Amino acid sequence: MAPWAIAIHGGAGVDPNLPEHRQEEAKRVLARCLQVGVDLLRAGTPALDVVEAVVRELETDPFFNSGRGSALTRRGTVEMEASIMDGRGRRCGAVSGVSTVKNPVSLARRVMDKSPHSYLAFDGAEEFAREQGLETVDNSYFITEDNVGMLKLAKEAGRILFDYRIPLTGTDTCSALAGADHHNNGHNGMVMNGLPISIYAPETVGCAVVDSTGACAAATSTGGLMNKMTGRIGDSPLIGSGTYACGACAVSCTGEGEAIIRSTLARDVAAVMEYKGLPLQQAVDFCVRERLDEGFAGLIAVSSDGEVAYGFNCTGMFRGCATEDGFMEVGIWE
Amino acid sequence: MGWALALHGGAGDVPRTLPAESREPRLATLRRCLDIGMAALRAGRSALDVAELVVRELEDCPHFNAGRGSVLTADGTVEMEACVMEGASLRCGAVSGLSTVANAVSLARLVMEKTPHIYLAFDGAEAFAREQGVETKDPSHFITDHNVERLRQAKEANRVQIDYTQPMKGQQAPREAAPADDNSQTGTVGCVAVDAAGNLATATSTGGLVNKMAGRIGDTPVVGAGTYANALCAVSATGKGEEIIRHTVARDVAALMEHRSLPLRDAAARVVAGAPRGTVGLVAVSRRGEVCMAHNTTAMFRACATEAGHVEVGIWTDADADADADGESVSVAL
């Protein structure tokens, strides 16, 4: 028997001026969802089932921006995506462009378990959800008042941020600008995913678990990016980028999706452990430091030995973790 | 040092009885595309331009499963996908679910260069194509009689050809039942290049797999799975997409070079050996101008050339290689 461990996140890149009561609410939701996972692990539930159950909780709570409360596309619609991976056998499932499925993470699980494929998107994914009899709701269920307002602000900000739509090379980027402001605590210049931090809301939830048999699993779910182009796919459904699990560890990432994709961040944590022989936290630190070039992101991870680790290079990450020996933590800032 | 390029037209279990009328046009296309790539590199074109140029040619050839000649979904439609990546900058672009764009690889490049995103899919990708004014065709342009017949045979066999996840309960792994007519197991196309300045790039394009569910996304557009380039190497993979995704094949070649300091050939051989037999092929070039074509299938349509004068065109693993190489399944020229 190995010690179990669990880590969860509700997105990285938090407005430093987030009101105290919102911070408290975030922590309450994180603690509640974490407890769901802890109870399941204590009851001997396999890691794969735990990550699915916990991500479903996070998706269903409108506080975090996935499932209900998802970010809106430029057209004001919701296009959700999710993935799940079982470290045993490295089985995986992913979905993108889901617009009516209440819990995208469970659809990703069905793709893994019940289809010959590992990734379905848009109409084909919706059709499969109906075939599988998953709970669906009207697209309006996912759209919250808050996010309609956010989209409006994002569109206004998009006009102000002159270089948001221009592809970025080297250090001449929004993110670099944000980095420059990072240290003087100036929230005005801080930018996440092309949006001022005061408007930006972290968009992703995830969970990584090792159960008492030493099996690792990870799952990630997101509404994507506020004001994204329709059809945009981010890192969350991409195996190796937003989500990865193998025999050694499980990882879920969040933040600027494009930076996470370029660095195949989740796989790289595992690859650094596997090929460089670093322990979990060192692998996480290495990848956050060396891999994210100009991008901002964070990640949570567990190892098959029952360690938990997290890392981020931006202002805050909603997160929580617990281990079998009684350690439990919920936090936002460094 | 010096430029090098390698290209593939898919890997799989191609019978040696492949009739000349199926074999010769493909070999001729490989040779012609190799010549085009070599000429472009000699003329000083960048690795990214060369990879895109060569893949466009392969897409236009109806004998390979990309662009015109793409295989059909279960609905009888075409859903094409592609990805490009540049090594030094880690910039990348990807598209899925295209039904009218003549050259998917070029749209992937435009996503990379003209949007704040990396990956666009389905309606959003088609809308972007129209916004950018790229050449589009009626969906019938992509559908060949040959692929209509393949789909009919696949449906008759009530199964998905080419790839699948592990056998599920109550479902036979349908490996044996491929029609004996030709290379129905293969067809994805890809090209990797390193130019004289040491810039690396990769591009991959595919129609996916015969009789796939609508909405299915394979390894090709998933950065790190079918396609990856960094400062050390550029890789394009082909084969059973679900295996390539879970093994993050392209990224792992780069990860082994980076974290284990393995030479290109050893890294590629290890990754290919780590996947189940009959599932993976890849072409790769290193910054130093090495080239490698490795597969654990019985065949891979492939070709490569280096500035030092090594040229190779081949299908099967042994003495069939067309030129002055020994035709090893893993071959390297310095």
Q: Can you spell out the DSSP letters for A111-141?
A: HHHHSS-SEEEHHHHHHHHHHTT--B--GGG
CB-based contact A120 B259, cutoff 8 Å: no
Classify each residue of A199-216 as buried b or exposed e, where b means 16 or more C-beta atoms within 10 Å of its C-beta.
bbbbbbbbbbbbbbebbb
In this structure, is residue A280 part of a structural domain? yes
CB-based contact B215 A268, cutoff 8 Å: no
H helices, E strands: number in chain A = 9, 15
* Number of domains observed in the structure of chain A: 1
In this structure, is residue A62 part of a structural domain? yes
Residue B331 to residue B324: CA distance in whole angstroms: 12
Classify each residue of A65-98 as buried b or exposed e, where b means 16 or more C-beta atoms within 10 Å of its C-beta.
bbbbbbbbbbeeebbbbbbbbbbbebbbbbbbbb
Q: How distant is the Cα of B138 from the closest Cα of chain A, in angstroms?
A: 20
Chain A partners within 8 Å of B252 (Cβ): 267, 271
Q: Which residues of chain B have pLDDT under 70?
A: 158-186, 318-334
For residues B201 and B48, is the Cβ–Cβ distance under 8 A? yes
Reduced to 3 states (helix: H, G, I; strand: E, B; else coil), residue B230 is coil
Residue A80 to residue A105: CA distance in whole angstroms: 10
User: What pLDDT does residue B159 have?
Assistant: 57
Per residue in A12-44, pLDDT tens? 999 899 999 999 999 999 999 999 999 999 999
Residue B307 carries which side chain, given as an amino acid letter? E
In this structure, is residue A189 part of a structural domain? no
User: What pLDDT does residue B174 have?
Assistant: 42
Among the partner residues B91, B97, B222, nearest to A238 by beta-carbon distance: B222
User: What pLDDT does residue A131 have?
Assistant: 97
CB-CB neighbours of A58 under 10 Å: 32
Label each residue of A145-167 as H, E or C: HHHHHHHHHHHHHHHHCCCCCCC
CB-based contact A229 B120, cutoff 8 Å: yes
- Pseudo-torsion of CA A109, A115, A117, A121, nearest 10°? -70
Q: What angle is formed at CA B76 by the lines to CA B71 and CA B77, rounded to 5 degrees?
A: 75
DSSP string, B86-149: ETTT--EEEEEEESSBS-HHHHHHHHHHHSS-SEEEHHHHHHHHHHHT--B--GGGG--HHHHH
Asked if the C-beta of A286 comes within 8 angstroms of chain B's C-beta atoms, the answer is: no
What CATH number corresponds to the domain at position A53? 3.60.20.30
Asked if the C-beta of A164 comes within 8 angstroms of chain B's C-beta atoms, the answer is: yes
Going by pLDDT thresholds of 50, 70 and 90, the confidence category of residue A159 is low
In this structure, is residue A90 part of a structural domain? yes
Residue A261 to residue A240: CA distance in whole angstroms: 8
User: What pLDDT does residue A70 have?
Assistant: 87
Going by pLDDT thresholds of 50, 70 and 90, the confidence category of residue A190 is confident
Chain A partners within 8 Å of B202 (Cβ): none
Joined together, the tokens standing for residue B299 give 């065949």
Backbone angles phi, psi at B26, to 5 degrees: -70, -45
Higher pLDDT, A293 or A215: A215
User: What pLDDT does residue B169 have?
Assistant: 38
Residue numbers of the domain that contains A27:
5-141+200-331
CB-based contact A120 B216, cutoff 8 Å: yes
User: What pLDDT does residue A189 have?
Assistant: 67
Residue A236 to residue A39: CA distance in whole angstroms: 26
Report the interhelical angle of A104-114 vs A122-131 (nearest 10°). Answer: 80
In this structure, is residue A188 part of a structural domain? no
CB-based contact B255 A275, cutoff 8 Å: yes
DSSP string, A311-322: EESSS-EEEEEE
Interface test with A, best of B83, B89, B119, B162 (most A CBs within 10 A): B119
Residue ranges of domains in chain B, CATH in brackets: 4-162+184-333 (3.60.20.30)
Label each residue of A259-277 as H, E or C: HHHHCCHHHHHHHHHHHHC
Asked if the C-beta of A240 comes within 8 angstroms of chain B's C-beta atoms, the answer is: yes
CB-CB neighbours of A35 under 10 Å: 15
Q: What angle is formed at CA A98 by the lines to CA A92 and CA A104, rounded to 5 degrees?
A: 50
Reduced to 3 states (helix: H, G, I; strand: E, B; else coil), residue B54 is helix
Residue B60 to residue B67: CA distance in whole angstroms: 6
**Range A276-284 average pLDDT:** 97
Q: How distant is the Cα of A117 from the closest Cα of chain B, in angstroms?
A: 6
Classify each residue of B74-101 as buried b or exposed e, where b means 16 or more C-beta atoms within 10 Å of its C-beta.
bbeebbbbbbbbbbbbbbbbbbbbbbbb
In this structure, is residue A187 part of a structural domain? no
Asked if the C-beta of A120 comes within 8 angstroms of chain B's C-beta atoms, the answer is: yes
Interface test with A, best of B165, B266, B279 (most A CBs within 10 A): B165
What average pLDDT does chain A have?
A: 89
H helices, E strands: number in chain B = 8, 13
What are the residue numbers of the active site of B?
188
In this structure, is residue A110 part of a structural domain? yes
The complex's ipTM works out to 0.90
Nearest CA in chain B to A158: B116
Q: What angle is formed at CA B121 by the lines to CA A63 and CA B271, rounded to 5 degrees?
A: 95
Nearest CA in chain A to B172: A116
In this structure, is residue A178 part of a structural domain? no
Locate the DSSP E strands across A181-331: 191-192, 195-196, 204-210, 216-222, 232-233, 243-245, 249-255, 297-303, 308-312, 317-323, 328-331
User: What pLDDT does residue B186 have?
Assistant: 65
Residue B305 to residue B308: CA distance in whole angstroms: 8
- Pseudo-torsion of CA B107, A264, B244, A219, nearest 10°? -110
Interface test with B, best of A90, A112, A122, A131 (most B CBs within 10 A): A122
Residue B309 to residue B305: CA distance in whole angstroms: 7
- Which DSSP symbol is given to B43? T
Backbone angles phi, psi at A269, to 5 degrees: -60, -45
Joined together, the tokens standing for residue A116 give 């010959």
What are the residue numbers of the active site of A?
204
